[in-house]
A = this chain, B = another copy of it.
Amino acid sequence: MPKKVRIALDAMGGDVGPSVVIPGAAISLTRHPDTEFLLFGDRGVIDPQLAKHPALKAVASVIHTDVAVSMHDKPSQALRRGRKTSSMWLAIDAVKKGDADVAVSAGNTGALMAMARFCLRTLPGVDSPAIAAVWPTVRGDSVVLDLGATIGGDAHHLVTLAMLGSAMASVLFDLPRPTVGLLNIGVEEIKGREEVREAAELLRAMNLPQLEYTGFVEGDGIGRGAADVIVAEGFSGNIALKAAEGTARQISEFLREALSRRWLSKLGYLLAKPAFKALRDKLDPSKSNGGVLLGLNGVVVKSHGGTDADGFAYAVEVGYEMAKYDLLNKINQMLKLDGGTLVQASAAQEAVS
């Protein structure tokens, strides 16, 4: 019998907790029956939800704790109050102890990052973690990172991000050698930040077997699907993500308004409704729900706090695929590869400069 994927869930995470987390896990289970769940949180709230989902109940263990990190806790508060006791910490700790293959939480991002980093520590060779997510493009999906875990960083940090992101893309999209682009600005005379240019030289010189560096990508190249993996430091990555989300929301608001203004437009909208539904599905944030914390000794997936059961199910499935297809191992291979080639790369760089 093949090994089951063991997923630790912070059942109290998110705006509403178990009433989204449990049904979400149940949905994911129907799609991936080879899953087992560890549910961390208040048994008094979890059990009634679990009673509604017998199939999930059959493969789930509940580990009770009274302590939950609130959505408003600062990371320092969360660590002080919730270390070793909160549902969030315990879910992450299950990964550390080897009881689970991956942890998923819809709890607050700052607390989750702080706890994951504190509990799991960064991988050897990784200076600081990253958040990666799947970005829908006109050409399919891309992995974009870092979406805000680490601000700033030198060329080596960007190269590490390229390796982490391409390991994730190869797992998620089943690509032997994903293409990688560095996010940069398009004004030609300024070729962007120095560390971005340096990272480009490094990636080119390294010519890694597991990723294909293809060059700079401007902000509008992300949505065009210019590369399988788009690498940015956390500040600009977060700005890009949020600017894109804001624009999508703005356009749908304009569209709704425009379509409701005249009865002919309304009729047109009714006739074209399936098309709009298809569009909405394509842009549905819940379908790209699941930011992955990369660079740690274990995989942790962050779901949107305000998501519904369908959205949470997608986050669980991202975790499932990461564990099933052995993301951590791929990342480790990639980093070891780096250990050998970075030296050569520096030498190559010196030779050309």
Binds B, one of A59-67, A260-268, A311-319: A260-268
For the complex, is A109 an interface residue (Cβ under 8 Å from B)? yes
Known: A247-B248, A262-B274, A264-B272. A148 touches B186 (CB 8 A): yes
A127 to B104, CA, bound (A): 47
Query: Are A240 and B238 closer than 8 Å at their CB atoms?
Result: no
Query: Are A110 and B188 closer than 8 Å at their CB atoms?
Result: yes
For the complex, is A348 an interface residue (Cβ under 8 Å from B)? no
For the complex, is A51 an interface residue (Cβ under 8 Å from B)? no
A149 to B57, CA, bound (A): 58
A137 to B274, CA, bound (A): 28
Query: Are A238 and B108 closer than 8 Å at their CB atoms?
Result: no
Known: A240-B240, A272-B259. A137 touches B250 (CB 8 A): yes
Binds B, one of A21-29, A161-169, A207-215, A276-284: A276-284
Say whether chain A's binding surface is mostly helix, strand, loop, or mixed: helix
Which 3 residue pairs across A and B have the least CB separation, nearest first?
A: A219-B242, A268-B272, A110-B189
Question: A278: which of B221, B242, B258 is its contact (CB, 8 Å)?
Answer: B258
User: Which B residue sits closest to A269, measured CB to CB?
Assistant: B272
* Across-interface contacts of A239 in B (CB, < 8 A): 183, 185, 219, 232, 236, 239-240, 243
For the complex, is A223 an interface residue (Cβ under 8 Å from B)? yes
The chain A residues found within 8 Å of chain B, CB to CB, are 74-75, 108-111, 113-114, 137-138, 148-149, 151-152, 183, 185-190, 192-193, 218-224, 232, 234-236, 238-251, 253-255, 258-259, 261-262, 264-265, 267-276, 278-279, 282-283
Q: In the complex, how many angstroms separate the beta carbon of A90 from the nearest chain B beta carbon?
A: 20
A278 to B271, CA, bound (A): 19
Query: Are B148 and A187 closer than 8 Å at their CB atoms?
Result: yes
Query: Are B185 and A114 closer than 8 Å at their CB atoms?
Result: no
Q: In the complex, how many angstroms separate the beta carbon of A290 from the nearest chain B beta carbon?
A: 16
Question: A246: which of B114, B223, B258, B273 is its contact (CB, 8 Å)?
Answer: B223
* Across-interface contacts of A276 in B (CB, < 8 A): 258
* Across-interface contacts of A255 in B (CB, < 8 A): 275, 279
Q: In the complex, how many angstroms separate the beta carbon of A155 from the nearest chain B beta carbon?
A: 15
User: Which B residue sits closest to A72, measured CB to CB?
Assistant: B188
Query: Are A254 and B238 closer than 8 Å at their CB atoms?
Result: no
* Across-interface contacts of A264 in B (CB, < 8 A): 271-272, 274
Query: Are B108 and A235 closer than 8 Å at their CB atoms?
Result: no
Query: Are A243 and B267 closer than 8 Å at their CB atoms?
Result: no
Query: Are A275 and B261 closer than 8 Å at their CB atoms?
Result: yes
User: Which B residue sits closest to A219, measured CB to CB?
Assistant: B242
* Across-interface contacts of A151 in B (CB, < 8 A): 185, 190, 192-193
